Structure 1
Amino acid sequence: MSDNDDRSWGQFVEEVPDEELLSEFEGAEPRTAAEIADAIATTEYEARSKLDALCRAGELRRKRVREEPPLTVWFRPRAAFVDEDGDGRPVDERVDELLKDMEMPGVSGMMRDWRRDAVRAAFDRLREDGELEAADFKRDVYPSHAAGYDDPEPWWETVSERLGDLPGVVDPHWGGETWRYDGR
């Protein structure tokens, strides 16, 4: 916060417009209440209250990422920014187009198509459940979409490298094993 900012430390969070708080989020990158409190010059308690209100309004989501010591993060639903070009096309159409253009390993066109189908199956399963861990994909998607792989580990490496590039998918870069689908 700059010295020229006329907001006083610990201001009432109701005075902070929703848009200003939401602008502190970049993409689906999660933020803690302490980070937001510092950014908008208020107390952590007040920031948490505002963040929770925005969750109830559907503008943010939250997730507890650690039990001890407790750590909760808030993040923008991917749907808030996945259609930034404003074309309004359905998610399935955008996914199909992205998969068609995705580079896939494989010695034949048929094998590359199988691998595209495996990524699509993983996407569909994630969209259906909302959250999945890598083990869930390997257990539930790999058996029927092995895509020429004899082992789920190299299969998952191929799928996971591409799954995060699809609309609404938030990969677990910020910690943990949980993949999320935040599209609508």
Structure 2
Amino acid sequence: MSQNERGTTGGTSVQLTPDRVLAAFDGHAPETTRSLATELNAASEVVGETCRTLRERDALARRELDCEHGTVTAWYRPADAEADLEERAEQTLAELSVPGTSEMMRDWRRDAVRAAFEFVVEDGPVVESEFIEHVFPTQNAGYDDADQWWEMVAPRLAEVPGVSPPTDGEVWTSDVSR
């Protein structure tokens, strides 16, 4: 088994984030899973899964191309993907279902999730403790306990298009750029 098949380099794991995959594209030029795996020094299966996740978020599109050896999947960045992604993120934030006994409390909690979203977009990648340190003090949304606040914010933040929750560890990233 080669290093690319294992997804390792010199015995260390290669962390493949959606941002890293998107950065491997040259504008809107198409790439195959194999070419991305080679460029990123990662397993084709991991690259393919990340590309499928990005496709679900409309950050990538794909075409199946027939060639003499079978079918090849070509991934590409749609021209309007970034603008559309930010618009969908804003719509999701406005419609989030959050706990609260009044509309004012629910708005306050949506604002806390929005502040966490803006923090990861502007300062990402971000670890959980940084959300608590930088966002919680000004956007506590009625919570006295930072852990309870994070239990409300984290699952909702993960629902926002363009935000990638941690896969290994606790690093949050964003595909949205401002």
TM (normalized to structure 2)? 0.58
What aligned pairs does 1:21-40 form with structure 2 within 5 A after superposition?
33-35=4-6
**1:78–1:183 CA contact under 8 A, matched in 2:** no
1:24-173 to 2 correspondences below 5 Å: 33-35=4-6, 56-57=24-25, 75-76=50-51, 82-83=57-58, 90-172=84-166
Q: CA deviation at 1:175?
A: 1.5
User: 1 or 2, which has the higher strand percentage?
Assistant: 2
Give the number of aligned pairs.
Answer: 132
Partner Cα distance (1:53, 1:165) in 2: 20
Q: Deviations over 1:112-165 (max 9, x none)?
A: 001100101100010012200000000000011000001111110111011111
8 Å CA contact 1:164–1:170 kept in 2: the answer is yes
Give the secondary structure class of the aligned counterpart of 2:172: strand
Point out where structure 1 has 5 or more consecutive residues left out of the alignment: 1-8, 11-31, 38-47, 64-72
What is the CA RMSD across the aligned residues, in angstroms? 3.9
> Shift in Å at residue 79 of structure 1?
5.8
Cα distance change on mapping 1:54 and 1:92 into 2, 3 Å: closer
CA distance in 1, matches of 2:138, 2:109: 12
C-alpha distance in structure 2 between counterparts of 1:154 and 1:53, whole Å: 33
Asked whether the equivalents of residues 117 and 145 of structure 1 are also in contact (C-alpha less than 8 Å), the reply is yes
In structure 1, distance between residues paired with 2:21 and 2:143: 46
User: How many angstroms apart in 1 are the aligned matches of 2:91 and 2:144?
Assistant: 28
Return the alpha-carbon distance in structure 2 between the equivalents of residues 113 and 141 of structure 1. 16
TM superposition score normalised by structure 1 = 0.57
